Chain A
């Protein structure tokens, strides 16, 4: 008899959060989805069900190129960041003495706490024409002319990798520390070498954490506007940069919406691909 009464209280507790999420996340997304099928005539939006925007995204070279550039950069960044962060997390977890671990970890992710916008900008100080690297190399007579490193894909990838190495080191470290050392010991007792122990025991056990980190990197990277805008130059534009361009210069909201829906589609595909390893609820 108390059940119905109890449940009403339960609903009362969940309702505010649920209503907020539906009103300001689900409904806006559906409105955006509807808008993506509208089209522009002159300066005004004609609503309806036109697939024009989507056809253009996948056929117009400049737009399709944005999609490809975004995917290339994101995959590159995800792979490089994982490859750099795994050994780093490993060293902190197993080489650094226990009592220094927390300090080293905090140091490793300290620059995470600068403003995101400023962190991208700070790479200009390093990679720019007058930046530290060029000035140093010229002072050492290694080069006579500055090398151009900023305003390129190299700079974008560097800025991203810097951010995600910090993030991934943190998640992989947490993952490695949860492993009981008994697994590795057992494998070695059974005659596995160090490499075999790593490949067949440690790596599979840390895979869920790795995939969660990789998915997070993928989502944050492919949707980011700031880093490519500050570091990438104008030679190639990513999907978020193209979206912002539709909004700003052209005022083409339907097109921007369609591109956002495509972006969302890519993230969903990435999710489905990695879903069996993911534990979002444990992030």
Chain B
């Protein structure tokens, strides 16, 4: 009895979870102007429309660049800080950890408003890069926390051996520590990447002419229900899921072993 209830609950929950996304994908193939029943299709016209849209494609390009660059910076800074705090007994370690993690517990809207105030005050013009700075702020805590948790004692011994053999500090970090932490580094990078590439409010408030994909999608939605939005959404879904699968099949499989 409870067993049967469990399966029913699971089925209902999955139904709830997949209902909107299912509709999104289904009606991206709609042959008509409205993404609502009845379904007349399938047609690929909205995909052709989206892929031929210069603004959307340039927003897509912007998103990929900002996500890649900001995640790389967040990863580098997070890696160095994790290494510094895990290896050296510095005064005020706890306080520094709190400061580094703090942006994680604050709403993106507040981070965006703070940066907007800073830029206004200092006269820095808004661009793709002013939003990228914000993306580093939100992803740095994540990268730091993941790597800080991953650094263990066996890493320390390998580093010591490398140092005894005459490796410089930079070489130790680049050739010994970083490769040993590679699975965590990749996980941190790709998590940051997906957060940055899907981030809306910081990108919305801190860019001006060159916008990212979520911001462009946002302006697309102002015209109400349209199968174009369905097609864009389905494409984003496809890209994210492929990335996730790739990660699952390569990095996480190795981590588990």
Interface hit among B49-57, B178-186, B235-243:
B235-243
Inside 8 A of A14's CB, which chain B residues have their CB? 80-81, 84-85, 90, 96
CB distance from B118 to the nearest CB of A (A): 4
**CB-defined contacts of B110 to chain A, threshold 8 Å:** 29, 32, 223, 260, 263-264
Cβ–Cβ < 8 Å partners of A31 in chain B: 114, 117-118, 121
- The 8 Å CB contact of A21, one of B10, B20, B89, B103, is B103
Picked from B229, B230, B237, the residue with its CB within 8 Å of the CB of A113 is B237
In whole angstroms, what is the CA distance A56 to B200 when docked?
Answer: 29
- B88 near A26: Cβ-Cβ < 8 Å: no
Contact B214 A119 (CB under 8 A): no
The docked-state distance in angstroms from the alpha carbon of A91 to that of B13 is: 11
Instruction: State the CA gap A114–B232 with chains docked (Å).
Output: 10
The contact size tier of chain B is 35 or more
Q: A257 contacts which chain B residues (CB < 8 A)?
A: 113, 117
Complex contact B21–A111 (CB within 8 A): yes
Tell me the chain A residues, 103-129 only, with Cβ under 8 Å from chain B. Answer: 104, 106-108, 110-111, 113-119, 121-126, 128
Q: Does B136 contact A (CB under 8 A)?
A: yes
Residues of A within 8 A of B34 (CB): 130
Docked complex Cα distance between A219 and B109 (Å): 11
Known contacts A119-B21, A125-B35, A223-B109; is-contact A21 B140 (Cβ 8 Å): yes
Given contacts A31-B117, A257-B113, contact A111 B233 (CB under 8 A): no
- Is B175 interfacial (CB-CB < 8 Å)? no
Binds B, one of A5-13, A59-67, A183-191, A203-211: A5-13
- A125/B107 in contact, CB under 8 A: no
- Which one of B106, B113, B237 lies within 8 Å of A114 (CB-CB)? B237
B107 touches A223 (CB 8 A): yes
Q: Is there contact, CB below 8 Å, between A111 and B194?
A: no
B84-A13 in contact (CB<8A): yes
Residues in B whose Cβ lies below 8 Å from that of A73: none
B106 partner residues in chain A, CB cutoff 8 A: 219, 264, 267
Interface 1/0s, chain A 29-50, versus B by CB < 8 A? 1011001000000000000000
Contact among A35, A126, A240, A247 with B19 in the assembled complex (CB-CB below 8 Å): A126
Among B6, B109, B120, B214, chain A packs the most CB atoms within 10 A around the CB of B109
Chain A residues within 8 Å of B233, by CB: 114-115, 118-119, 121-122
Taking a contact as CB atoms under 8 Å apart, the answer to whether B136 and A115 are in contact is: no
Please indicate the chain B residues that have their CB under 8 angstroms from the CB of A29 in the complex. Answer: 110, 114
- A16-B107 contact given A110-B241, A111-B18, A125-B225, CB 8 Å threshold: no
Measured between beta carbons, the chain B residues less than 8 angstroms from A226 are: 200-201, 218
Q: Note all chain A residues with C-beta closer than 8 A to B27.
A: 125
- Report yes or no: B105 in contact with A271, Cβ–Cβ below 8 A: yes
A132 pairs with B36, CB closer than 8 A = yes
A25–B102 touching, CB < 8 Å: yes
Q: Are A114 and B17 in contact (CB under 8 A)?
A: no
**Is A27 engaged at the interface, CB distance under 8 Å to the other chain?**
yes
Residues of chain B at the chain A interface (Cβ within 8 Å): 3, 6-7, 9-10, 13-14, 16-21, 23-24, 27, 34-38, 76-78, 80-81, 83-85, 87-90, 96-97, 99-111, 113-115, 117-118, 120-121, 133-134, 136-137, 140, 144-145, 148-149, 169, 194, 198, 200-201, 205, 213-214, 217-218, 221, 225, 229-230, 232-233, 236-237, 240-241, 244, 248
CB pairs A–B below 8 angstroms (19 shown)? A9-B88, A10-B84, A11-B88, A14-B84, A14-B96, A16-B81, A20-B140, A28-B111, A29-B114, A32-B117, A106-B248, A111-B237, A126-B23, A135-B38, A219-B107, A226-B218, A247-B205, A264-B110, A280-B101
The 5 nearest A-B residue pairs measured at CB = A223-B107, A10-B88, A13-B84, A28-B114, A118-B233
A10-B90, A31-B121 given; name 18 further pairs at CB < 8 Å. A10-B87, A14-B84, A17-B81, A28-B115, A88-B10, A95-B10, A106-B244, A111-B18, A116-B198, A118-B233, A121-B229, A125-B225, A125-B230, A132-B36, A223-B107, A230-B221, A257-B113, A260-B109
A residues with CB within 8 A of B: 6-7, 9-14, 16-18, 20-22, 24-29, 31-32, 35, 84, 87-88, 91-92, 95-96, 104, 106-108, 110-111, 113-119, 121-126, 128, 130-132, 135-136, 162, 165-166, 219-220, 222-226, 230, 240, 243, 247, 253, 256-257, 260, 263-264, 267, 271, 280-283
